[in-house]
Amino acid sequence: MANRTSTFVDEILYFIYESTKLLPLPFETPYEWSKRNRGVSRPNYYANIFQLHKRGVLKVTEKNNKKFIQLTNKGQLQVLFSKAQLSHVQKWDGKWRLIVYDIPESSKSQRHIFRKLLKRNGFYKLQASVFISPYALNREALEYLKLSGLISYIRIIRADALDYDEDLLKRFNLMHN
């Protein structure tokens, strides 16, 4: 049941994110969408909206006696992080992506989240603060890095060749390419 609820919450956030990047939505629109697609009851929907609002992910405003919901910056970060999973259907272009970072100790929790993002996208820890992958980060991952401010501590390098990459080719199942 917890997975179903968290998936439903993610779907609400994705819907809001995709429907409007900057404009607020009428409060009823996401409910009607979730009722049609998931058969969610009104009390369940509003309980989830309340929890998202309480967590600071959504902002509820009222104008002309109508309620509107909008993602906060925290909500946008959450959606981008969730959508920042790389699709591995890409064909390798023969180039390596190295990510080098130096995130300050004062941002330790953001550093942990960043490493989680890299691992979710199949990056391998080559050395301390250096990760490598044959595939680039997707648009949502880059947006997440920009919006979170982490991009200023990160360098992304595309390398044509590495001196000894047989172990990496094997790790990423690229020996046949």
Residue 45 is encoded by which pair of tokens? 């929907």
Judge contact between 77 and 147, C-beta under 8 A: yes
Rounded average pLDDT per 10-residue block, the chain, 177 residues: 57 70 51 64 79 86 78 84 69 93 92 90 93 90 89 96 92 79
**C-alpha dihedral, 118 to 120 to 124 to 128, nearest 10°:** 40
pTM: 0.66
CB atoms under 10 Å from CB of 67, counted, come to: 14
Domain 86-171 has CATH 3.30.750.24: no
The Cα 113–Cα 110 span in angstroms is 5
Q: Which amino acid belongs to residue 171?
A: R
Who's near 52: CB < 8 A, 6+ residues apart? 9, 12, 13, 58, 75
Domain residue spans in the chain? 2-80, 86-171
The Cα 99–Cα 9 span in angstroms is 31
**For position 37, what pLDDT does the model report?**
61
**For position 118, what pLDDT does the model report?**
92
How is domain 2-80 classified at the CATH fold level?
A: Arc Repressor Mutant, subunit A (1.10.10)
Are 2-80 and 86-171 equal in CATH topology? no
The Cα 130–Cα 101 span in angstroms is 7
The Cα 136–Cα 88 span in angstroms is 10
